[in-house]
Amino acid sequence: MENLINKLQDMFAVKDVQDSKKNQILLTVKASKVPALLSFLKEFEGFKVLVMISSVDWIEIGKFQLSYIVNDPDKKNDLIIRAFISRKEASMISIHSLWGHASTFQREIKEMYGIDFPGSPRVDEPFLLEGWDDTPPMRRDFDTKKYSEETFFPRPGRESNDPAEYMKKRLYPDEK
């Protein structure tokens, strides 16, 4: 894959190349280059399968990381294409024209992180969170505890246990 990586560095200004494990390489590229890079990999380099798109919220630096995992089934190689976008203008070019199922990943990321993919089919329709009108729940500034306390009533009879002590009592009830 070394030849391919060199080619991608020349053509797409790829940086931060990391061998994450056998037959899998992580590349970082500017967000604006992602669609062209993925198109090139699909059309000319045998990376026919879009495995997934994921997101990470790097609230400390004000960015989202989008990772696109593509697979070459013939050579059994994976590439992870990573790009960073601003949290303030959380928008990314859609790649649904390359892989139709990309729109499903993009729709989920829009709902969970608030990242828009303009032009992606049904991207603005609810995916999992029908009627949700709060901060997207996977953003790190979403206060899970506060939401839970405001949304769900306390249930009487619940208690907290030290897991080690609880299992000891369950497994060895006669020991004191």
> What was the pLDDT predicted at 176?
66
Token look-up 């879009």 returns 50
91: domain CATH number is 3.30.460.80
Q: Is residue 155 part of a domain?
A: no
Which residue range forms the structural domain that includes residue 17? 2-129
Mean pLDDT, the chain cut into blocks of 10 residues (176 residues total): 94 93 95 98 98 98 98 97 97 98 97 97 93 94 90 77 85 83
Q: Is residue 97 part of a domain?
A: yes
Where are the alpha helices (H) located in the chain, listed in sequence order?
Answer: 2-12, 34-44, 102-113, 144-151, 163-171
Q: Is residue 99 part of a domain?
A: yes
> What was the pLDDT predicted at 157?
72
Task: Give the rounded distance of the alpha carbon of 174 from its chain centre.
Answer: 48
> What was the pLDDT predicted at 154?
76
> What was the pLDDT predicted at 145?
87
- Structural domain total, the chain: 1
> What was the pLDDT predicted at 37?
98
Q: Rounded to an integer, what distance in angstroms lies between the CA atom of residue 176 and that of residue 172?
A: 9
Q: Is residue 55 part of a domain?
A: yes
Q: Is residue 176 part of a domain?
A: no
